[in-house]
C-alpha cells in the first residue's frame, strides 16, 4: 500500500548516486541485484520507431544490434514490435506477434544466454513470448490499463513486470496531460496498480514513471526533478529518457543529435535512484554509470 513518503529500508546513500535501494529481481531462475544500476538496450523490430538507428527488421541487422548491446555492456535487451511514439499507427496483435516471433527466434538461436525483455501491452503477446521463447521481462507501457488480462497473465507467468504510467494510448496520450498534482497523481496510480498486482501474487515488480507519455515537456522535467519521491513505493525504478523529445525539442535539435542531452538526463536519473536505464546508446550509458560509481567510492 501507498503509505506516505518515507525512506526505503536497506538504502545506500552517497552524494553522487543519492539513493541506491537494495532491490533484486529474479529472471529465468537467476537473481539480479539492482543495488548497482543495470542497462536495458533498445531493439525495435518496427519500421516507424522515432529513432531510426534503433530499428532492425532484417536478420543481419537484428544480430548486429543485439551483439552491439551485449558488447557495450547491456544487461537486458528490450525488444519492441509496436511503436509507442506519439501518433504512431496502431498495429494488430497478430502483426506485433509476427514481428516478435521472427526476432525472438533469431535472438534465441544466436544469443541463447541473453536476457530479453519484450515491450508489449497485450497479455496474449506477453504469454506467447514467455512460453515460446523464454522471455524474462514484460515491459508494459500501459501499466495494465490497455488489456484487462495483463495482470493475471504476468502473475501466472511469474516474470518481472515493468509497470509504466501512461494515460490513454500512444494515439491519444498527448491530449491527456491535465493533472491535479503531477507527482502525487502518478504515485497514486502506480500504488493502486501495485496493490492489484500483489493481491494476485505478482512478484518482481518494477515501476517506470513514463517520461514522454501523456506528459508535457515541463511535466517531464518536473517529474525528473522529483523522481526520488517514487521511492515511497519501495520498488526499483526504470527510466527511459533516451533521445526523447523532452531533450531534443528543448535544445532545438533532433533525435540523432540528442546523445549528450540524454547522457545528462541519465546522470540525473541515476542520482535520483534509477535502478535500470532503458537506452539506445549502451556504451555511453555504461560509461556514465562507471564514472558515477567511481565518484561514489
- Is 244 labeled as catalytic in the residue annotation? yes
Q: Please name every residue paired with 173 in a beta bridge, in sequence order, or none if there are none.
A: none
Closest CA to 276 of 207, 226, 197: 207
**Do residues 271 and 226 lie in contact, with contact meaning Cβ atoms separated by under 8 Å?**
no
- Is 203 labeled as catalytic in the residue annotation? no
User: E strands of the chain, at which residues?
Assistant: 11-12, 20-21, 24-27, 30-33, 38-44, 76-80, 116-119, 137-140, 161-164, 205-208, 238-239, 276-279
Closest CA to 99 of 42, 43, 170, 46: 46
Q: Rounded to whole angstroms, what are the CA distances from 101 to 105, 111, 146, 159?
A: 6, 15, 21, 19
**Phi, psi at 211, each rounded to 5°:** -60, 130
User: Which grid coordinates are listed for 10?
Assistant: 536497506
Active-site annotation holder among 278, 283, 286, 294: 278
User: Which grid coordinates are listed for 49?
Assistant: 520507431
Rounded Cα–Cα distance for residues 222 and 91 (Å):
32
Rounded Cα–Cα distance for residues 169 and 173 (Å):
5
Active-site annotation holder among 20, 65, 244, 272: 244
Rounded to the nearest 5 degrees, what angle is found at the Cα of 122, between the Cα atoms of 169 and 85?
A: 35
* Chain position carrying cell 536497506: 10
Residues tagged active-site: 244, 278
Amino acid at each position: 500500500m501507498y503509505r506516505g513518503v518515507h525512506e526505503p529500508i536497506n538504502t545506500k546513500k552517497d552524494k553522487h548516486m543519492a539513493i541506491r535501494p537494495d532491490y533484486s529481481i529474479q529472471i529465468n531462475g537467476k537473481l539480479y541485484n539492482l543495488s548497482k544500476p543495470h542497462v536495458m538496450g533498445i531493439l525495435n523490430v518496427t519500421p516507424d520507431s522515432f529513432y531510426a538507428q534503433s530499428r532492425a527488421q532484417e536478420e543481419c541487422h537484428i544480430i548486429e544490434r543485439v551483439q552491439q548491446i551485449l558488447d557495450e555492456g547491456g544487461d537486458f535487451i528490450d525488444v519492441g514490435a509496436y511503436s509507442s511514439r506519439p501518433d504512431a499507427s496502431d498495429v494488430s496483435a497478430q502483426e506485433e506477434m509476427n514481428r516478435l516471433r521472427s526476432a525472438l527466434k533469431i535472438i534465441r538461436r544466436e544469443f541463447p544466454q541473453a536476457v530479453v525483455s519484450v515491450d508489449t501491452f497485450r497479455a496474449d503477446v506477453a504469454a506467447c513470448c514467455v512460453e515460446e521463447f523464454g522471455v524474462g521481462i514484460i515491459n508494459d507501457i500501459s501499466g495494465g490499463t490497455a488489456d484487462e488480462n495483463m495482470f493475471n497473465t504476468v502473475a501466472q507467468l511469474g516474470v518481472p513486470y515493468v509497470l509504466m504510467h501512461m494515460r490513454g494510448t500512444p494515439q491519444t496520450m498527448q491530449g491527456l496531460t491535465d493533472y491535479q498534482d503531477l507527482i502525487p497523481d502518478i504515485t497514486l496510480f502506480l500504488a493502486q496498480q501495485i496493490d492489484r498486482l500483489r493481491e494476485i501474487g505478482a512478484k518482481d515488480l518494477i515501476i517506470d514513471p513514463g517520461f514522454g507519455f501523456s506528459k508535457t515537456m515541463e511535466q517531464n522535467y518536473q517529474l525528473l526533478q522529483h523522481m526520488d519521491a517514487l521511492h515511497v513505493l519501495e520498488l526499483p525504478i526504470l527510466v527511459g529518457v533516451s533521445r526523447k523529445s523532452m531533450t531534443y525539442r528543448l535544445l532545438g535539435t533532433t533525435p540523432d543529435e540528442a546523445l549528450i542531452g540524454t547522457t545528462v538526463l541519465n546522470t540525473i536519473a541515476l542520482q535520483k535512484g534509477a535502478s535500470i536505464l532503458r537506452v539506445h546508446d549502451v556504451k555511453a550509458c555504461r560509461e556514465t554509470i562507471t564514472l558515477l560509481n567511481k565518484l561514489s567510492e
